[in-house]
Structure 1
Amino acid sequence: MNKPSPEFDSLLPPLTLNRRGFLATSLMSGFTLAAGPVMAQTVITTDTNGLTAGEVKIPVADGTIPAYRAAPAGKTNLGTILVVQEIFGVHEHIKDVCRRFAKLGYLAIAPEMYARQGDPSKFTENAKIFSEIVNKVPDAQVMSDLDATAKWAAANGGDPKRLAITGFCWGGRIVWLYSAHNPNLKAGVAWYGRLVGDKDALRTSQPVDIAGQMKAPVLGLYGGKDTGIPVATVDQMKTALTSGSAAAKASSFIVYPEAPHAFHADYRPSYRATEAKEAWDKAQAWFKKYL
């Protein structure tokens, strides 16, 4: 991996600890170092013209967490999309995804799910992010923080009757879990999120375990050449969904045979423009159908 430049490192905020024990009190600038090298020539940048966009604070059970919000300026009663980060936190790509949804007329909001556990922006290795942060994040905390984010959105221009969720990589798994958690959710789109795996005190269920409990239909977008999420696990999830709730049975998958993991991440070498565009169109259609 290329060594990060001093200029890039200087863009990242210092790690701070507030009195409630939150390690991240604001969102990062730029990208997490472990995600590099950033493919600057392919990064998609969506402007804020006509939008209200920027960082907000979400009240949660034990304090506040930062989030990035984007919405059409001056509009209310908007369909709301919760955007759940990759393992790298709420960086520039996730913020841009929020702006893309806002340009389509939604209120999109991405809460920082690691606020209590740490700041992933300084790590240069994925393994360190997992061991130092990700593996310390309880699913129950994530569900609670997403509930709080949905509540904030409903009080700040969102329509609580039109709530959806999307997420990438780590966030893709969360989409499945949240779709089984929140009865007010209308739809989800999961991008290459893990479906099976080990369980422990912090992760008591995997998506395949709660597939039948879906309260909202989920569209799964996966890569056929994803070495970390074999297509066999997608087939396993499909089978689990067939004997579940109406929302479970309405869920669907699209597998792009030649796509690797993170094929939508336009700032990374894994980006596949053709598959990413088609999948983005499918996600839009899914939300339009249910919201």
Structure 2
Amino acid sequence: MLKEEIDSLAPGRDFSRRGFVQTAVGTVGGGFAAAVLPVTAQTISTDTAGLEAGSVSMPVGDFKLPAYRAAPAGRKNLPVILVASEIFGVHEHIADVCRRFAKLGYLAIAPELFVRHGNAGAYTDIPKLISEVVSKASDAQVNADLDAAVAWAAANGGDTSKLGITGFCWGGRTTWTYAAHNTKLTAGVAWYGPVARSYHPGDKTAVERATSIKAPVLGLYGAADSGIPVETLTQLEAALKAAGHTKSEFVVYPDTPHAFHADYRPSYRKAAADDGWARCLAWFRKHGVA
């Protein structure tokens, strides 16, 4: 998974030093992660006009979990979308995805799921980021944090009977594992999330958790993603069907790499990203997250 993540940022680029720091350190979603700089010219930026948007915190036991949230200003009973980040944490791109959902009438929340283990946004060395931060975020911790985000949403204008989750790369895997965890989830959309591997030692893969997945999940993948072989998607699809689950679907885009939705990176493929976004929104509408 490391090579294609590095290549999707910038082929041949040197990530051996911490040459940048995240802008607006301490503000969730306030700047791009160091590992993704410099961002590319086609980066999409969604404004906050008509929105309530910015950093919030939510209790998880005695811990205050930071998150970025965006919602239409002054509105209540909003459908809720959890947004699970890539390995780089909640930086500007993830915040922008939240604002895109908010412009369409959703309360979107992206919790900073790595914050207990370090500042994912400050790393430029990706293998080090994964070993020192990402691999320490267990599924149990992540699921508890997402549950806390759902509880926060319910108390702050969200209608959690209409609950969706979407995520990218690591967050795409999290979409599958949270669907296996939360039986009240309405629907999910997983963007190029590994299904046959885990990051935290001892955690099960999405394939191994297939019997627990009840909500409909749409998987959006690239056929040229060397870290997620198409045969692993076939394995998950077969495992879901064997468990009697026929509500999930997969879309695999030909000749398309990892991170094709990431408009701030060289891996961005506009046609696939636009089609995937339209399918994502249609999926949530179809399954009652609207």
- Whether TM-score is above 0.5 comes out as yes
Secondary structure, in 3 states, of the residue corresponding to 2:31?
Answer: coil
Which position in structure 1 is the counterpart of 2:23?
11
Secondary structure, in 3 states, of the residue corresponding to 1:232?
Answer: helix
Counterpart contact for 2:36–2:265, Cα < 8 Å: yes
Q: Distance in 1 between matches of 2:233 and 2:286?
A: 23
Point out where structure 1 has 5 or more consecutive residues left out of the alignment: 14-24
RMSD: 1.8
Which position in structure 1 is the counterpart of 2:7?
none
Which position in structure 2 is the counterpart of 1:135?
135
Q: Letter of the aligned partner of 1:205 in structure 2? A: K
* 4+ long deviations beyond 3 Å: 2-6
The one of 269, 273, 276 aligned to 1:272: 269
Change (3 A) 1:226 1:10: closer
Q: Distance in 2 between matches of 1:114 and 1:165?
A: 18
Q: Distance in 2 between matches of 1:139 and 1:2?
A: 31
Point out where structure 2 has 5 or more consecutive residues left out of the alignment: 1-12
Question: Does residue 1:126 correspond to 2:126, yes or no?
Answer: yes
Q: Distance in 2 between matches of 1:95 and 1:10?
A: 14
Q: Letter of the aligned partner of 1:220 in structure 2? A: G
Question: Which aligned pairs between 1:95-110 and structure 2 lie closer than 5 A?
Answer: 95-110=95-110
Q: Letter of the aligned partner of 2:219 in structure 1? A: G
Which position in structure 2 is the counterpart of 1:19?
none
Q: Letter of the aligned partner of 1:267 in structure 2? A: Y
Q: Distance in 1 between matches of 2:212 and 2:43?
A: 37
- Whose RCO is larger (CA < 8 A, sep 6+)? 2
Question: Does residue 1:214 correspond to 2:213, yes or no?
Answer: yes
Which position in structure 2 is the counterpart of 1:226?
225
Change (3 A) 1:203 1:51: farther
Counterpart contact for 1:243–1:249, Cα < 8 Å: no
Question: Does residue 1:35 correspond to 2:47, yes or no?
Answer: no
Which position in structure 2 is the counterpart of 1:159?
159
Change (3 A) 1:86 1:77: same
Deviation of residue 62 (structure 1)? Answer: 3.2
Secondary structure, in 3 states, of the residue corresponding to 2:118?
Answer: coil
Q: Distance in 1 between matches of 2:48 and 2:172?
A: 26
Deviation of residue 104 (structure 1)? Answer: 0.8
Percent identical among aligned pairs is: 54
Counterpart contact for 2:221–2:258, Cα < 8 Å: yes
Q: Letter of the aligned partner of 1:215 in structure 2? A: K
Q: Distance in 2 between matches of 1:37 and 1:2?
A: 13
Report the TM-score when normalising by structure 2: 0.90
The one of 267, 280, 284 aligned to 2:281: 284
Counterpart contact for 2:134–2:199, Cα < 8 Å: no
Question: Does residue 1:60 correspond to 2:67, yes or no?
Answer: no
Report the TM-score when normalising by structure 1: 0.90
Secondary structure, in 3 states, of the residue corresponding to 1:94?
Answer: helix
Deviation of residue 275 (structure 1)? Answer: 0.4
Which position in structure 1 is the counterpart of 2:10?
none
